[in-house]
Structure 1
Amino acid sequence: MRSKLLMLLNFRDIANVFRSLLCLKCMLWCAFMLNGCFSELSAQLTASIDTINIIEVEIVKPRLSRNSELDSYIDVPKQQIVNYQNQNLSELLAKTTFGMITSSGYNGGIASIRLRGGGSNHTSVLWNGLPVNSLTTGGADLSMLNVGAFDQIKVINGAAGAKYGSGTLGGAVELNNIPSFKDSSSVAISGVYGSFETYKARANAQVSNNNLSYSGQLFFSDSKNNFTFEDNLDHGTPEKTMQNADVHEYGTIHNLGFKIKQHLFNVGLWYQFKDYNIPPVMGPGDLVSTSNQKDSTFKAFLNWKHYSNYWRLEALSGFINDELIYTNNGVLINEIGSKRHLNSVYAGYSVGKFCFETGLRYNYLKGKSYNYFGDKKEHELGVSLNTTFKHGISSTSILLSKEWNSVTHPPIMFAFASQMVIVPQQLDLRFKVSSHYRRPTFNERYWEPGGNQNLKSERGVNGEVGLSYVIWNTLEQNITIDETLYTAYNQEMLMWVPDDGASKPINTGKVKSLGSETKVSYVRNGANHTITAALLYGYGKHQFNDADASNYKEILYYKPKHLLRAWATYSDKIFDLTINNSFQSDCTTPDGYTVDRFFITDIMAHVKPLMKYDKLQVSISVHNVFNTNYQLIYQYAQPRRNYSVGLSLIL
């Protein structure tokens, strides 16, 4: 395998690798010497600062989250995670982020997120640092990601490709499980009944002490999806009922963490299965599904971290196996699968105002499909160097990375970010510029008919400037506004286009995006209650930018100019109420059709009916309150007003 990789590298790349390794060796040697020189100073600092507590806090913090502090991001509120804990991730992100969500069907249909003009395969999705995007399509199916399985959900807008790898143009979604080393234990069971004969059940267990942290859950979902809607693609806009669009799903996810002095080990296991009758497109006639898709996934990882006063070491090894079986009228049409072995090692060293981190990655990728000529295998190797300089209460970060792939040739990637505090705890400015790329996916290269192994990788650059201003800040209230202006340029955009009744991927040329993101947040802490609210407005102009092409200046497909999210939550000891609102302007499709604008409102409440027994909780949800008829993908219907009621008990 090593010889195959070396054969694929040109002499300049090999020289760069050895030069990087030599620099790494010198850096580690210097760090070792500095460690000895500053050992006495470290002892003095330890006497005055509780460094042990600092290390314990940092050791459980995800590496990517720690390194994204200079980015523009949205940390989804914990209350919203609770509100949508029995839903898939697309439902949550559609109400709380700047992401534009597409879905081919309600409650189980393939769903994805698009950020800042990027497509579904331009957003990286990671589970505890493990990338989970499909190896074959490049996107991540959000319908296979259950909200309640994660402790932290974070969306990085305009994430850097140097940090997250291939396909990171629009942004990244981080899904994390955070270990809690406190003496506690609990078991909870919950059940939900909703419209369209929907049944959901979940069992959670959590136990932890000073050195051990375990959390696990089992979940099950079953729905007929027999909702009614107005078919505006049929003559007279008749009201119809979706038929034979059932979805059955179950899964389990476990996370175990244990500490040994300044070492932390994390183990994660995740299995999920979905059996889904794909809904037909809207139009004349009855809508009866004849196609079925069965998805299964198994993910596992082992993560090790070590922290000291100066050193930070981390290693991650993961395995992902995805399977998809597609049938039509009971006849097997295709079976698609992939296996990935993902490995990375990072070493960080802090001295004074500087922090250095270097990393090495190796991945083995294997894809299979009836539409490939045999199984396809690839190897990846990557190195990175990240330097952070903290000057006062401001920070600057420079990241460089280089990958080698046994089939494609990725460029050197960079990311530069800086945050300047103008007025402490009130006003700060940030600036970021970074490069990105996306190599063609397995399907784009190997799918027959249509695949093309001569496709070029997408390459480009992103830039943004942001401001965060605290308008009002007291012990009771806080009002903050965050404004970001961004631009992105993409060369050799890859896209599937119609071709003689089928589709094929092509490089469509240059693409330019310009936009803004505005977030206003409000928090009020009363004597016995809390009120939180937020308003998110995103504007984007995303267009083809190749002057020699016929589509010059045309708006990209499925890219609305306006997105609006607004929510408010009231909570006290026995009751909480959340109102979520989501607006999206119209957008176009590759076939020249228009997906109409829509406005959706959800209302969710949780109440503890027995004041002396707060272990019991009742939840009530009303989705699409105003009974809106809408589509997320052209010709695929979504349900109008629907309800759910749930009961949870902590044992």
Structure 2
Amino acid sequence: MLRILLLCALQPLPVFAAQVADSTVTLPPITVTASRIPVSVVRAPIRTQVLDRSAIFESASLTVADLLRQRSALYVRHYVGGLSTLSQRGGTASQTLVLLDGHRIASPQAGQLDLSLLPTILLNAVEVTSGAGGVLYGTDAIGGVVNLQTAASEDLFTVHAETGPWEKRNGAFYATNRRGRLAGTVAGEIDRYKGDYPYLNRALFPPEESPREGGDQQKRSIFGSVTWTRPNDEWRLSAWYNDVERGLPSINSSLPSGERQWDEHLRVWTHVSRKWPWGSLKAGGLTQFGALRYMNPRTGIDNTGRTTLSSVHANIDLNPIRAWQLGGGVEAGFGQADHPSLQQGNMERRYAAYGHAIGTWGPMSIYPALRLDHYARPKRITPVIPSLGVNVRLKRNLHLKGTAASAFRMPTFNDRFWLPGGNPNLNPERGESFDAGLIWLYRGIQIEMTTFMNRLRDQIVWQPTSAGYWAPLNVSRATNYGLETSVDFQRALTRRMETRAGFVWTRVAQKSDSFLRLIPRNAIKGYLHLRWRFLAASIAASRTGALGITSVTESDPFFLVHGQLKMHVGPVSLGVHGENLLDARYEYLPANPMPPRQARLILTLTFH
């Protein structure tokens, strides 16, 4: 079977891996990320979006970066070398926490995560919460939290292969099966891409269009999970290995630089839960090993950095006691990095205890929470993080929600130990987050408007020094404020026609010691998905406003349109997915031209 899958990945027969699912999903969904206690997104104290497996399938997204770029309020920035990072509410990539089944997975060295390395094939859902999440999850959750969920409960086998321009080839499979108390999930992906698309090369005279060189990439991922259940118990063990090699192309250059990068990660995590008459216990842990190699033949650099990240947690939720539902837990974590450009002793140990509650009186619910973190190395720091949320049902389907919370971000290993320039005496970034909004549901329509303000002090900024290198300092204060508006629609128009649509508008402004760099002040996204009998069609459009490059210069805004057509016959789904249909020439960063118009062929085989 593995040989067949590998051959499919290299043949011009494309497939998108996902479930051909009924697009009618009961609204509203349930979130566990917003409060650690399962609660409806309508009753949650902060804005929460749940992208289920149907949404992943409809978007034809192969990576988490593409999924969030199309379907969420987050701003995802792409680089020509393949790197993709996110920004939430005007923050940096290290100010949004990314979780895998509730465990943090960002590199302790860089403090951020390359979302292009995360395939959607192994995901069952993605939860996005907007607003400070530090009271529940600790450092880095200043702008919000993205929780990637891998659990699946149904028997399913999906296989796909895909082809596109510039030698794009992708093959993947996903299988889940349950036998009595034992259930298992296996998923894998192989992706290859030469990436020699044309762009305007300004290094030539006169400037002319030429193919991008040295931007190839090869990705491999394998995921497995085993779950054992009893009426009151569940135990799950999961493992995920991914390996990526890619070139870093030279843009606006007459000769390729030959720069290359290798990323390798192994993650193993477990989850245990047990129910008693008085409540429930959930515990788990994760260990992650990462290696990043960078090579530049021109400068003779060939360095490899290695990171280790481990965490354990235990959480107890009590059954409701009159108007209150109480919970709390403890955490411990360890991080370490080894790199030729890092000082010795770059190790971090952290411990935390937290408590949270939901109090309900008629139409009103309050969400108080308190967290105490303690960092033992390299510098003793003990931040205290309080939070208070409220949700009030004004009418049957209209809710008012709001939150006030503290948040913090610890300096990364690069901030503290990089040679030259690292500063071990950096203070953590600290701030407060406030948001308030309305959410309304009516006959499959969900409308939500949220206004927010994030205040941050001791922001860490890298600045040039008189010695000729850059160094981080606690020099900046920033206040990001804005408005998020979203509309989601899901309904069966007729007995044979189903539709799902969404729209989101994000407006961000900043008062700070520096300007809002490379983050749009305005971003608008929308999508429409229709299914009639055996045919399905989707279209997604986005307008990204001007990006601040310097304090006086901005890039041009750009408008993108993507679309796809699919035909479903039994277990077979055949379609075509088009990206950048209007052939826009755009950049997320200066000298980072993105691909022109392209189309991918998609073939999916799904068996229940």
TM-score > 0.5 by shorter chain: yes
Structure 1 counterpart SS, 2:476:
coil
Q: How does 1:68-467 map to 2 (within 5 A)?
A: 69-84=44-59, 87-105=62-80, 109-180=82-153, 184=155, 186-209=156-179, 211-231=181-201, 238-280=208-250, 282-283=251-252, 285-286=253-254, 288-329=256-297, 331-350=300-319, 351-374=321-344, 376-406=346-376, 407-408=378-379, 409-424=381-396, 426-467=397-438
Further displaced range: 390-399 or 290-299: 390-399
Letter in 1 for 2:318: Y
Give the drift of 1:234.
7.0
Letter in 1 for 2:460: L
User: Structure 1 residues 320, 590: CA separation in 2 closer, same or farther (over 3 Å shift)?
Assistant: farther
User: Structure 1 residues 63, 399: CA separation in 2 closer, same or farther (over 3 Å shift)?
Assistant: closer
Q: Distance in 1 between matches of 2:232 and 2:105?
A: 29
Give deviations 1:264-285, integer Å, cap 9, x for gaps. 11111100000010122x33x3
Structure with greater Cα Rg? 1
Q: Distance in 2 between matches of 1:602 and 1:410?
A: 47
Structure 2 counterpart SS, 1:640:
coil
User: Structure 1 residues 632, 311: CA separation in 2 closer, same or farther (over 3 Å shift)?
Assistant: same
Q: Distance in 2 between matches of 1:269 and 1:382?
A: 25
Letter in 1 for 2:113: A
Q: How does 1:616-627 map to 2 (within 5 A)?
A: 616-627=572-583
Q: Distance in 2 between matches of 1:488 and 1:142?
A: 24
Contact 1:245 1:288 in 2 (8 A): no
Q: Distance in 2 between matches of 1:387 and 1:187?
A: 40
Give the drift of 1:509.
2.0
Give deviations 1:568-617, integer Å, cap 9, x for gaps. 00013422111011111111236865332111111022212xx4xx1111
Give the drift of 1:261.
2.2
1:38 aligned partner: none
Contact 1:242 1:287 in 2 (8 A): no
User: Structure 1 residues 389, 452: CA separation in 2 closer, same or farther (over 3 Å shift)?
Assistant: same
Q: Distance in 2 between matches of 1:329 and 1:307?
A: 58
The structure with the largest helix share of the pair is 1
Contact 1:262 1:306 in 2 (8 A): yes
User: Structure 1 residues 121, 235: CA separation in 2 closer, same or farther (over 3 Å shift)?
Assistant: farther
Q: How does 1:576-615 map to 2 (within 5 A)?
A: 576-589=536-549, 593-608=553-568, 611=569, 614-615=570-571
Give the drift of 1:62.
10
Q: Distance in 2 between matches of 1:169 and 1:507?
A: 17
Structure 2 counterpart SS, 1:167:
coil
5+ residue gaps, structure 2: 1-28
Letter in 1 for 2:273: K
Give the drift of 1:442.
0.4
Q: Distance in 1 between matches of 2:573 and 2:527?
A: 22
Structure 2 counterpart SS, 1:493:
strand
Give the drift of 1:144.
1.1
Letter in 1 for 2:325: C
Give deviations 1:605-643, integer Å, cap 9, x for gaps. 2212xx4xx111112100000001111122212101011
Q: Distance in 2 between matches of 1:644 and 1:286?
A: 30
448, 459, 464: which one pairs with 1:482?
Answer: 448
Higher relative contact order (CA 8 A, sep 6+): 2
User: Structure 1 residues 214, 394: CA separation in 2 closer, same or farther (over 3 Å shift)?
Assistant: farther
User: Structure 1 residues 453, 385: CA separation in 2 closer, same or farther (over 3 Å shift)?
Assistant: same
Give the drift of 1:232.
6.4
User: Structure 1 residues 380, 469: CA separation in 2 closer, same or farther (over 3 Å shift)?
Assistant: same
Q: Distance in 2 between matches of 1:66 and 1:287?
A: 55
Q: Distance in 2 between matches of 1:103 and 1:503?
A: 24
Structure 2 counterpart SS, 1:511:
strand
Contact 1:298 1:322 in 2 (8 A): yes
5+ residue gaps, structure 1: 1-56, 545-551
Structure 2 counterpart SS, 1:530:
strand
2:477 aligned partner: 510
The structure with the largest strand share of the pair is 2
Q: Distance in 1 between matches of 2:31 and 2:163?
A: 40
Give deviations 1:347-369, integer Å, cap 9, x for gaps. 11122221111111111211111
Give the drift of 1:163.
1.2
Q: How does 1:60-75 map to 2 (within 5 A)?
A: 64=36, 66=38, 69-75=44-50
Q: Distance in 1 between matches of 2:130 and 2:34?
A: 18
Q: Distance in 2 between matches of 1:162 and 1:357?
A: 13
Give the drift of 1:114.
0.2
Contact 1:71 1:159 in 2 (8 A): no
Structure 1 counterpart SS, 2:38:
helix
1:10 aligned partner: none
Letter in 2 for 1:413: I
Contact 1:536 1:564 in 2 (8 A): yes
User: Structure 1 residues 413, 70: CA separation in 2 closer, same or farther (over 3 Å shift)?
Assistant: same
2:12 aligned partner: none
What is the identity percentage for the equivalent residue pairs of Structure 1 and Structure 2?
A: 18
Structure 2 counterpart SS, 1:347:
strand
**TM-score, normalised with respect to structure 1:** 0.83
Letter in 2 for 1:160: G
Letter in 2 for 1:594: E
User: Structure 1 residues 592, 144: CA separation in 2 closer, same or farther (over 3 Å shift)?
Assistant: farther
Q: Distance in 2 between matches of 1:65 and 1:616?
A: 39
Q: Distance in 1 between matches of 2:395 and 2:301?
A: 63
Contact 2:358 2:366 in 1 (8 A): yes
